[in-house]
Structure formats: structure tokens, C-alpha cells
Structure 1
């Protein structure tokens, strides 16, 4: 006669968990429970979890993954057959336009029937998407995601009300990519020192950034000193200027948009200086594009050899190093952001819709994408196939394998070293991610463009932003916004980024 081991909390939990598992025909439920009684529920659960997890209904069925349409979508689709073979899950991809990511995803999340099981989004949408996302640890573990390997700043993103609802799959941050055939040319270096009184090199502050941009702006030779986006993604570049200007002034809470009571912090000398600097940089770009420079056009101009340096997302050096699309391949190096803070605008995360009928399958898809071998392959693919930027620290351990383009030239090592320095910096700025962030960002985008085009002074633009910020806060409820903003602020403080 079998004697059941003495019950305790661990055993009771294990028995409850075992009783809810579908065995998929590997062994009968009666046999499973018999073994639990004989050998102990906790031991049985530990022994058979891997087998049962693979055999359960969550390891079968269909999973639809939504992705914004772009160059990295095709490379992900190539993995669908491999994923199906490894897991038994039928994986399909659906796409939506990059510019409609917010509206289409929010609509899909609110519907009764899920359009996507898992999908990608910008982390600053988490405040609005959060109520409709599944906390990842409800369907899996951080260990399955290899979470500890994700770069520290990216670990701090994608939290809603204290729960992790997304995980990074595309690690955007700003770094400087500069032309070595210009910055390391002896004649250029001599002329620069004569004009500015110090040595030419990758800029380390705004003055150096501005000086080098001015020095290399030569319209008669179709060469310009810098390129910044001044259309749709103006938010990212304005925030960079705001954050770096605040650090220069000795502020410990650089880039803080709201105080503890959700009052906007924009009508300041620092914000006005940041907006003035942003506008100043347009003088070192092509006049016909300076006031409305699209991100894809600016990047292409660098590839064509028309730009001396670009303080830009990490896709810039990745593409510039690809000789199949870049005329400056083999003539570039990376350096940190010209300011003292690592700024991580946008990026992409993957989350699971709360209205998904296959959450465990969706989690498997995300976890599979996070496996080192798979993730590294996406980043290593040629630029024309993949826009995914590195987000895991292990991606920098073997630069020549993870970043094969121009590996022999030393570019891979340079890119990896600079990236690691930025991602382990004591100062970083996490994107705002509270309810209504999309509306707050829309105000910044609209009025920064007005200031850059001369339709408004920097002060007028900041006043308009402040007014609209207050309207958005009122619409979402000040008490609610205070609560969410306090959580965001605490993430910055706890990590030591803010005091």
C-alpha cells in the first residue's frame, strides 16, 4: 500500500500544479498522481516538468506574432519553420505600418478576439498598453527569457504597475558614428586645430559636436557636418539635447518632464537652450531637408558619404559598415553619445496580448526569440535584411561573430566596446512610459518642429507643450498620472541614474 508523504505547503502547491497539467498522452493522469503520491509531488513535478511542459497544449496550436513592417520583418519570418520544428507551434507573422503601431495595436488589444498573440511595440507605449498585456511571469519565467543577459537599461523598460509586460528585442540607443577618412586625416586635423584651438576627434560635449559639424559642412562639396531627424522622430533628438544640457548644468534629474505632482518641467532655461541647440544643428544639414529631415533619408545620406558624423540610433553604424549598401564602409568608427548620458529612445519590445487564447504558446515564441543563438543571428544578418539592434550583453562577447560586417577592419570590436560602455554607464535616460505618453510625445513632436521651422520661438513652443501636457494629464486623471509617474521616477532613482 502506498503511503503519501506528509503534506506541507510545497507539496500542496506541487499537487495542485500537477493536477492542472494536461499530459498530452505521455502518461495517464492517474499514473502521474500515483507517482506523485509515491515519490512526492515536488519531486515528480521537478522530474517531469520539462516533459509535460513540452507535451501540454501550450506547446501546440497556432501563434500569431505581430510586427511593424520594415526591413527586419523578413528575417524574422525565416525563423518560422525552425520555430515550428523545435516547438510544434504553427507560427505566423502579421504586419502593420510603423507609423500606425500605436493605433492599430491599441485597437487590437481592446477587441474581444486577439489579432495577435504576441506583438512588438515601443516601450513608451507600455503606459497605455499595460492594462491589455499579460504579465510575462504569469505564463513563464525570466530565466526562460534569459533575462539576466539583457543589458541593464533594457531590463528596466516595459514595466506596468510593477509587473514585467514586455521584453526588449531591439536595443536602440544613441551613439556617434563618424568618418575616419575625415576625422583622422592629418590635414583636416591641422586645419581644425588652427580654427578652434583644440584637437579634432569624436565630440565629447555639445561645443565639440557643434564645432565639428560646422567644420565639415561644405555644401559646395556636397558634404555636411551632421544629421539629425527633424520630422517624425524629433522627440528622440530633442530629448537627447534636453538630457545632455541638463547634465551640463549640473542637474541630477536630467530630462525630467514632470515633477512629483505631474506639473510639466519644460518652461526652463535648460529646455529653452536644448531647443535652441536642436535648431542650431540644422545649419549643418542640407538646407532643403534641414527643417524636415526624415529618418530614412538622413540615414541614406550618411551611407552615400554626404555626412561627416551622425549622433543616431545604433542602426546607423550597422548599416554604414555594410559595403553592399554603404559607400563609407571601412571608413567609419563609433564613439559614445556626445553628451554624458546614454539615451535609449524607442527600441522595440515583445509582449503578449491579454486577449490571446494561446498565451503559453506566445511566451514560447518570445522565449525562443530570446535564445542567444537565435537573437545573435538576427543581429548578425546583413543590414538590408534586419534592422534589429543588439540588446543582450552576450552579443558583445564575440563581436566578429555577432557583427560580421567589417570584422577584419576592427569595426566589430569598436562597435561592441562602445556599446558595452554605453549600456553599463552610470547615467542613462529611460523613455517615459506612463498612460498618455503617446499624447505627450505628439505635443513635443508638433511644437519642436514649429520651433525648428521658425513658426514659433523656443519659448513659445515650450509654452504650447506645457499647456497641452496639462490638458493630457487632466484627461487621464492627475491622481492616476502621479501614481504612474512616481513608478517611472523610482526606476530611474533606484538604478542610480537620478538622485
Structure 2
């Protein structure tokens, strides 16, 4: 005999309203009720409540949104009708390759006619994009963007000359995703303690990170101790070593330049950070270690070949999805090693200064930032969206943000660790000064040379320093000093460098 579960009256009311909504063809009734079952009737109703009033209205002018292909375009195109329903504004999505994000967007911003009204970008490009972006508070208010709900570190990004020119739509930070079938196995724990003299656990510092990686590296079993990127996104992983080591030494971690924009790389900390980074490649598949791409690194973790990944937050999101991951149900999250929360990349959206529809663009961004919509985009499957959480409400209600992983307890685990990381008194914000793309390109060119043995750590750092100096002179030292000082003061004001 099956016992029927009686729904609360409020839920019955919301379901009745949803079932009676005339969607004007904007979305199928089956999809509407599917979302109700997945995200809850109240959340779905809050999204579609404006359909009756907005669907019959004239549009407020088309808004063109540019997004890098592969990350968000599929899911946001799915939601395009909802933008129209809620705002009365037609939205057209255009995509560009991830690798061309910088060049295509900067070119489009400099043109007389906007290619995009709204577009996504990495916050570390703000130094170059800033002069061509519209300060958001010139068009609307931060309250309309639900800005206070954004986690504190993410609020400090996308600032140009002390004006907010973008708002996050993807909250990347480093987090450790580890295999519970390995780390919590009694035999493995006993063997580890016998070899290293302390208990096996997710690493809190570099020594533990290295030791656990060495312990689980078993090429004969096709198992490796860790995975890090050693190709295009190598910058983020080297910076992580640099800032964690700087924090260990009690200095202003990650301060790449001094007050006169002289690079601070060729020193004991820089050389040790690069040696550590190169050392870790011994604990990855040999055929990939010297040029590990980000997408391949993620996939070999999903395939069950890696014990742990100190990686962006999309790693646990994908690893928890049984459709694409062989280790789903066998993972947990922990703080990344070291005591600094590192927030590399992520994505923001801003309004082009040459847009002819800034009001419509702001309305579209504001709608995207409301919790009901934002949570649903993060909650979609890994195949549909790579969005990572960036709002406090997403972590406060993990079962809504990660409905597919709520029953296993993974959603609560991921949320609690993320909140701890975001509340840390130490965080590293990417620099976002003019020429950042060139500074990062130097890191991405010369770090792999040290990893592959083509240069010593000192030689690689000296080459970076020379190119950093060239970039600074190209953009103008006085100008760079002013922009870097703004960044320095932001770090100091937030207490991250105290």
C-alpha cells in the first residue's frame, strides 16, 4: 500500500496557477511542469509570473548578448523566451570561441556600432575593457542587480577606476575535489600513515598535497595523485602556488609588482613556487603532464583516473553527475590546500559603451541576477551549463542550486566548503589592470618552459620579468602604477593582505 503525500495548500495553489498559465508559445506546458517538479512550484512561478502581463506587451527593443561558446550559450539560448516574457525585451544570443574572447570583444568595443549590447568577459580583462564599458550605476542601481547577495570576493571584481563595470555570472574559485573511495578507505589510510607518519586526509598545506599525490600515483593501476593544468590556463595554477607560498612566508601574497610596477618574481618565493609547480607534474599521467589541457584534465578525473583535483568549481559539479562521471557518488569537496582562497577567471557581464540600448541591456542583466533565475542556471546539468555559483543565496539553499546532487548529500558538502572559502580572511583577486592579457600571456609562455626543463625556474622568471617590464612601458609606467595602486588598495581595504 502506497501512502499518498499531501502537498501543502500553498504548493497546490502555485501548481494550479502554473497549469492555467497561457505561455503564448514561449515554453511548452510539459517543460513548465518539469521545471516545477525539479525546482519547486514557487520558484517556477516567480520566474513565469510575468508571462501573462509581459507576453502581450510590445518588446522594449532587441538586446544582443555575446557569450563564449560552450560555457553558457546552450542554456541561455534555452532561456531566451523567458527574458522576453519577463522583461518584454527580445534577446538574441551570439557566441564566439573561448580563445577569442579578448580580441573579439575588444575590437567590438572600439567600433562605432556595438556588436553586443551585453557580453561576457573574464574580470582580469577589465583593465583593457574598462574605458569602453558602461558603469552599471549610470544605467540602474545595484539593488536592481541584487548586488548584496553576491559573495564578498566576487563583489570586488569588475571595477575600473573605482566604478563597477560588470557583474559576475560565474563564480570560479579553487576547491579540492577528492575521491572518498580512496581517501576514506581504511586500508589506504593505514598504508599512508605507515609511510608518511600522519593521518590521510584532504591536504591543508603543500606538504600534504604533495604527499597524498605521491601516495596515490600508481601508473600500473592507471591511477594518479592529482591533476593540474600545464598548458593554456597554466597561469591560474602557478599563481595558486605563488600566493599560497607567499602567505606561508607572511608576505603580501600574490603582489606581482611593487609600488613602482617593478615585477616581484625573481626571488626565493617565485623560484620555489615554480619548483613546486613543476614537481607536481610527476604525479600526473606522463604523456599529458607537460602539456595538460583543462578539458582533458577534467575528463580524466571524471574517468576515475585521478585521486584529487585542486581545480575550479566546475570539477565537482561535473564529477557529481552520473551521466558523465564514473566517480559520481564517490567524491567530496574540501578547502584547496593553503589558507588563501584563489578566485581565477570566472565570468562577468557588462554593457558595451557603444550600445544603443543600454536600458534594455541593464534590464536583461538585472533579470539574470535575480536569485530564482540565477540558481536555475547553475542547477542545470553539467552538459547544459558550466555556470558556477557566485551568490550567497546559491550556497544557502544548496538543494535548489544542485537538485541533481541533493539526495547524496553532495550539495550540502559543496555549499558548506564553498561558504568557508568565500568567508576566508585571505583571498586572492586576479589583477585587472591595462595589459593584464599580456602579463598573463608571459606567464603562460614561460611557466611551461620550466615544467618541461627547457629553462630553470630562475631563467623562466627572468624572462617573465623582462616581458612584464616591456608591457608596463608599452602601456605607460605612470598609468600602470595608478591602476595597480587601485588594485592594491582594494586588497588592503578588504583586509585580504592584513
| 1:201 aligns to 2:194 (yes or no) | no
Q: Tell me the equivalent position of 1:284.
A: 283
Give the TM-score normalised by the residue count of structure 2: 0.88
Q: Tell me the equivalent position of 1:404.
A: 403
* Kept in 2: contact 1:258–1:265 (CA 8 A): yes
* Kept in 1: contact 2:261–2:480 (CA 8 A): yes
Alignment deviations for residues 14-41 of structure 1 (CA, whole Å, 9 cap, x no partner)? xxxxxxxxxxxxxxxxxxxxxxxxxxxx
Alignment deviations for residues 238-273 of structure 1 (CA, whole Å, 9 cap, x no partner)? 00000001111121x101000110000001100100
* DSSP 3-state at the match of 1:256: coil
Q: Tell me the equivalent position of 2:493.
A: 494
| 1:95 aligns to 2:101 (yes or no) | no
* Kept in 1: contact 2:213–2:224 (CA 8 A): yes
* DSSP 3-state at the match of 2:420: helix
Q: Tell me the equivalent position of 2:173.
A: 173
Alignment deviations for residues 258-303 of structure 1 (CA, whole Å, 9 cap, x no partner)? 0110000001100100000000000000010000000000000000
Q: Tell me the equivalent position of 1:272.
A: 271
| 1:335 aligns to 2:334 (yes or no) | yes
| 1:442 aligns to 2:462 (yes or no) | no
Q: Tell me the equivalent position of 1:485.
A: 484
What's the CA shift for 1:85? 1.4
* DSSP 3-state at the match of 1:200: coil
| 1:230 aligns to 2:230 (yes or no) | yes
* DSSP 3-state at the match of 1:299: helix
Question: Within 1, Cα distance between the matches of 2:72 and 2:329?
Answer: 23
* Kept in 1: contact 2:343–2:430 (CA 8 A): yes
* Kept in 2: contact 1:172–1:345 (CA 8 A): yes
Q: Tell me the equivalent position of 1:257.
A: 256
Q: Tell me the equivalent position of 2:63.
A: 63
Q: Tell me the equivalent position of 1:371.
A: 370
Listed as ranges, the gaps of 5+ residues in structure 1 are 1-53
Q: Tell me the equivalent position of 1:12.
A: none
Q: Tell me the equivalent position of 1:248.
A: 248
* DSSP 3-state at the match of 1:409: coil
Alignment deviations for residues 170-190 of structure 1 (CA, whole Å, 9 cap, x no partner)? 000000000000000000000
* Kept in 2: contact 1:59–1:360 (CA 8 A): no
Q: Tell me the equivalent position of 1:211.
A: 211
* DSSP 3-state at the match of 2:403: coil
Greater gyration radius? 1
Alignment deviations for residues 418-473 of structure 1 (CA, whole Å, 9 cap, x no partner)? 00001111000000000000000000100001111111000000000000000000
- The count of residues paired between Structure 1 and Structure 2 equals 443
Question: Within 1, Cα distance between the matches of 2:473 and 2:58?
Answer: 42
Q: Tell me the equivalent position of 1:111.
A: 111
Question: Within 2, Cα distance between the matches of 1:426 and 1:416?
Answer: 18
* Kept in 2: contact 1:58–1:358 (CA 8 A): no
Question: Within 2, Cα distance between the matches of 1:87 and 1:492?
Answer: 37
* Kept in 2: contact 1:58–1:361 (CA 8 A): no
Question: Within 2, Cα distance between the matches of 1:476 and 1:449?
Answer: 26
Question: Within 1, Cα distance between the matches of 2:105 and 2:72?
Answer: 18
Q: Tell me the equivalent position of 1:144.
A: 144
Question: Within 2, Cα distance between the matches of 1:113 and 1:137?
Answer: 22
Question: Within 2, Cα distance between the matches of 1:71 and 1:475?
Answer: 33
| 1:298 aligns to 2:306 (yes or no) | no
* Kept in 1: contact 2:172–2:343 (CA 8 A): yes
What's the CA shift for 1:71? 3.9
Correspondences of 1:6-155 after superposition (within 5 Å): 60-155=60-155
Question: Within 1, Cα distance between the matches of 2:86 and 2:403?
Answer: 26
* DSSP 3-state at the match of 1:351: strand
Mean CA deviation greater in 122-131 or 79-88: 79-88
* DSSP 3-state at the match of 1:176: strand
What's the CA shift for 1:356? 0.3
* DSSP 3-state at the match of 2:181: helix
Question: Within 1, Cα distance between the matches of 2:71 and 2:442?
Answer: 28
* DSSP 3-state at the match of 1:334: strand
What's the CA shift for 1:58? 12
Q: Tell me the equivalent position of 1:184.
A: 184
Change (3 A) 1:58 1:134: farther
* Kept in 2: contact 1:59–1:361 (CA 8 A): no
Alignment deviations for residues 377-429 of structure 1 (CA, whole Å, 9 cap, x no partner)? 00000111110000000001121121123211111000000000011110000
Structure 1 segments, 4+ long, off by >4 Å, are: none
Question: Within 2, Cα distance between the matches of 1:271 and 1:303?
Answer: 32
Q: Tell me the equivalent position of 1:421.
A: 420
Give the TM-score normalised by the residue count of structure 1: 0.88
Question: Within 2, Cα distance between the matches of 1:58 and 1:90?
Answer: 10
What's the CA shift for 1:59? 6.7
* Kept in 2: contact 1:173–1:313 (CA 8 A): yes
Q: Tell me the equivalent position of 1:10.
A: none
Correspondences of 1:312-331 after superposition (within 5 Å): 312-331=311-330
Question: Within 2, Cα distance between the matches of 1:58 and 1:245?
Answer: 57
Question: Within 2, Cα distance between the matches of 1:96 and 1:140?
Answer: 28
* Kept in 1: contact 2:282–2:289 (CA 8 A): yes
Mean CA deviation greater in 78-87 or 212-221: 78-87
* DSSP 3-state at the match of 2:390: coil
Question: Within 2, Cα distance between the matches of 1:409 and 1:104?
Answer: 42
What's the CA shift for 1:83? 0.8
Listed as ranges, the gaps of 5+ residues in structure 2 are 1-53
Question: Within 2, Cα distance between the matches of 1:391 and 1:309?
Answer: 23
